[in-house]
Amino acid sequence: MALEKGNKAKLVLEDGTIYEGYSDVRNPCFGQLCYNTSVIGYQEIITDPVYAGKILVFAYPQIGNYGVNTEDLQSAKIQTAAVVARDFCADPNNFRMSSSLPDFLEKSGVCAFEGLDTRQLVRHITANPGLYACICPVEYDENVAKEELNNYIEKAKSINLVKNATSKKAYSIDVSQLGNFNNAKSLFKNKFKIAVLDLGISASQLACLSYISKAIEVFPYNSSAKDILDAKCDALYISAGPGNPLNVDFVCETINELAYKLPIYACGMGHLLVARAFNFDIKPCKIEHFGSNVPVYDVFNDIAYATTQHHSYCVCSCGFEKDENGVFVANLSGHDFAIAYKNVNDGSCEGLALLDLPIFTSQFHPDSFDTSAKSQISIFYD
C-alpha cells in the first residue's frame, strides 16, 4: 500500500453502507460515486473534466504502477473529488514518469482511499447507480457524516457542473501546437475552421480536432449563437462535459439557433443536450457506463467499436420505430431522427443522426480510439 496503514478511514455511502480502508483524509470529502474499469490511463481519467466532482473507484486492483507524467494531462488539474483503489502502487517505474500517483494526488489536495475490495464496491455501485458518498477518518462520528452527506446531496443534485468545467473566455488554438496527434495529420486534409462549444473539453478531444482543422475557435458553454456565427467557422463541435444534462438549459437554446446554420457534431454531454434541444427525454442509465472496451454498434456503417465511456444518463429510445431498412427512426420537433449507434450490452441509444440536417451525435468518445486508424477517426471528425 502507498498510504500510511495507521491512517484508517471509512467510505460512507448514501444508502448507509460503510467500507473501511486507509486514507490521509483529515476533513470529510464528498462526491458522487462512479467507477472505471480501465487497466491503464488513470492519469488521463482523473484529469478529464467529465469526472468533475466524482469519487472515482478503479475496479482494477492496482493503480499507479507507471506513475504520472507532465504530458498526458487532459486538463490543468485533477478533476475528481477523490480517488479510490484497492492498492495504490508505492514504487512505480517508467521512463516518462515525474512522480507517483499518490504523490500527485497529495500535492493536488485530492483525497486518496485504498485497502478495500473495489470490485465488490463497483458491483454495489452498478446495482445502485447515482449514489453519493463521504470519505472521512474512521473515528469521525457516523451520524454527523451521514447528516453532512445528506446536506451535500441536496445542493449537489441541482449544480450545473458544466459552468465550472468550461473555459472562462473564448480563445483560439494553434493546431500545430497540439502534440503527438499531429503525427497522423498527413491522413487528413486540414482545411476546416472548427468552432468548439466547450462543456468541459479534454486535451485529447482538441488534439483529434486538429486532424481536420486549419483553425479551432473555443467558446465557453454560455456563448450565444451570434458569438459563434461571428467567428465564421465551417462547423460546430459540442464537447463532452460533467454532470446532469437536465441542469444545463442555456446550451439547448444555442443549439436550436445554430441547427439550421452550421453542421454539428456533438459528443458525450453535447449529445445529450442536442437530444434535449429537440425534445427527446433524458433518463438515468439503468447501469452507468464507465470504462473502456464498451462495445457500440454503428448502424449505418455496419461495424462495431470498442469505446471509452463515462456517463450516467442516456437518451430515451421510446417512440422510435424500425423502418424497412431495420433502422430505428422517430420524428420529433418536425425532424426525422435515426439511432445511429447502439450499445451492444444493453441496447441503449449511443448516438443520433438527423436525416434532414447535417447533425449527428455520439454518447461515447471518438478520441479514445486508436489514433493511427484513419477509418475510425474519419467517421467522426472528417
Segment 58-75 shows an average pLDDT of 94
Q: Please compute the mean of the pLDDT values over residues 176-180 and round it to a whole number.
A: 57
- pTM of the model as a whole: 0.91
Instruction: For residue 116, give Cα distances in angstroms to 28, 83, 353.
Output: 18, 12, 43
What is the reported pLDDT for 351? 94
Spatial separation of the C-alpha atoms in residues 351 and 348, rounded to whole Å: 9
Total Cβ atoms within 10 A of residue 139: 9
pLDDT of residue 367: 55
Report the distance separating Cα 82 and Cα 36, nearest Å: 13
Contacts of 202 (CB under 8 A, 6+ apart): 44, 48, 49, 50, 74, 75, 239, 240, 367
What is the model's pLDDT at position 319? 83
Q: What is the pLDDT of residue 181?
A: 46
Q: What is the mean pLDDT of the chain?
A: 89
Residue 218 cell numbers, joined: 473555443
Only one residue has cell 517505474, namely 93
213-226 pLDDT, tens digit per residue, is 888 999 999 999 99
pLDDT at residue number 317: 85
DSSP single-letter state for residue 176: G
The rounded distance, in Å, linking the Cα atoms of 213 and 190 is: 5
Mean pLDDT along residues 331-347: 91
Name 313's Cβ contacts closer than 8 Å, sequence gap at least 6: 244, 245, 246, 272, 282, 283, 284, 285
Query: What are the CA-CA distances from residue 57 to residues 34, 150, 291 (Å)?
Result: 6, 21, 11
The answer to whether 250 and 222 have CB atoms below 8 angstroms apart is: yes
Of the chain, the percentage scoring pLDDT greater than 70 comes to: 90
Three-state DSSP state, 330: strand
Confidence band for 84, pLDDT divided at 50, 70 and 90? very high
176-190, 201-215, 359-373: the lowest-pLDDT one: 176-190
pLDDT of residue 155: 94
Closest C-alpha to 222, from 186, 193, 249? 249
pLDDT at position 118: 95
Q: What's CA 292's distance to the chain center, in Å?
A: 12
For the ranges 96-105, 125-134, 202-211, 352-361, the lowest mean pLDDT is seen at 202-211
Given a cut of 80, whether residue 375 has pLDDT beyond it is no
pLDDT at 187 over 60: no
**Residue 299 corresponds to which cell in the numbers above?**
448502424
Q: Widest CA span of the chain, in angstroms?
A: 65
For residue 1, the model assigns a pLDDT of 56
Instruction: Tell me how far apart the alpha carbons of residues 208 and 185 are, in angstroms, rounded to a whole number.
Output: 9
Please write the tens of the pLDDT for every residue from 232-290.
999 999 999 999 999 998 999 999 999 999 999 999 999 999 999 999 999 998 888 88
The Cα 367–Cα 382 span in angstroms is 13
* Residues 326-331, mean pLDDT to the nearest whole number: 86
| Helix/strand/coil percent split, the chain, to 5 | 25, 35, 40
- Average pLDDT in the 19-47 region? 94
- Report residue 377's pLDDT band, with 50, 70 and 90 as the boundaries: very low
Q: Is pLDDT at 17 greater than 80 in this prediction?
A: yes
Q: What torsion do the CA atoms of 146, 152, 156, 161 make, to the nearest 10 degrees?
A: -120
Give the phi and the psi of residue 80 in degrees, each rounded to 5. Answer: -70, 150
pLDDT at site 161: 95
3-state SS assignment for residue 117: coil
